[in-house]
Amino acid sequence: MEQGLTIEQGLTVTILGCGSSGGVPLVGCQCAVCKSDNPKNKRSRASILLKQRGKKLLIDTSPDLREQLLRQNLSTVHAILYTHAHADHTHGIDDTRSLNYNAGRALDIYGDAKTMADLQTRFPFRFREALPEYGTHKLIANIVEAVATHEIAGFTVQLFNQIHGKTTSLGIRVGNFAYSTDVSSLDDAAFAALQGVEVWVVDCLKTTPSHTHSHLEQTLQWIKRVRPKRAILHHMSHEFDYETLRKKLP
């Protein structure tokens, strides 16, 4: 479910998708959550949209991107920032062609060096001009440092490293908002970057530990340490029934 959040100074965050890599319902699953009629148990793959002063920054391109864009009536963005290169966060990249066409220009995307290299290897056609008349309909890769503050499409974006199993992902902070998807461990530098955040969207895959994602007990410990005014659980699997979980949370 999408959720529009007004943070500060006109910054609005929309959660386009909050599900795990398989989405919820999971294909072929007959569990109570996957068969639930509650719309809050319908979770497309993880992606969010930031809006501020007329600018739009898309975070990740999930395999459900087309559906997410249509639900939001979203035809253009000013840039895309990738947290990491895993399929559930990148494989909607072909649907960004519509964003190019509607804007009539090439589209800048941002990520760390590994993510940009992986995307250009997997999807080379999105980074080249197949025909001269399609020159404005490509993606332009921009490498950003993993621990730094960058100006991206009018947004001041502070990035920090997150452990994601055997790899890493980018944590993102814009003003008093932070986004921590796909994270199994946070170091002291990450917690320092999160200091004073007011709204935090944070990974919580399931109730039991995972080697690539945070689980409920650990995420609640993190929230207690960071002390945001509002925390929103993210990247949730079909283990979580919305109403059951809501009654358990502080």
pLDDT of residue 27: 97
Q: Please enumerate in sequence order all residues whose Cβ is within 8 A of that of 86, keeping only pairs 6 or more positions apart, or say none.
A: 21, 182
Residue 135: pLDDT band (50, 70, 90) is: low
Strand-pairing partners, residue 19, are 45, 236
Q: What is the pLDDT of residues 45-73, one digit of tens each?
A: 999 999 999 999 999 999 999 999 999 99
Query: To the nearest whole number, what is the mean pLDDT of the chain?
Result: 94
Does 130 have pLDDT greater than 90?
no
Q: How far apart are CA 158 and CA 155, in angstroms?
A: 10
Q: What DSSP state is assigned to residue 234? A: E
Other beta carbons within 10 Å of 30: 8
Q: What angle do CA 171, 177, 181 make, to 5 degrees?
A: 35
pLDDT of residue 236: 98
Question: Quick check: 153 and 79 in contact, CB under 8 A?
Answer: yes
Q: What DSSP state is assigned to residue 46? A: P
Does 155 have pLDDT greater than 50?
yes
pTM for the full predicted model: 0.95
pLDDT of residue 128: 86
**How far apart, in Å, are the Cα atoms of 21 and each of 55, 153, 236?**
28, 28, 9
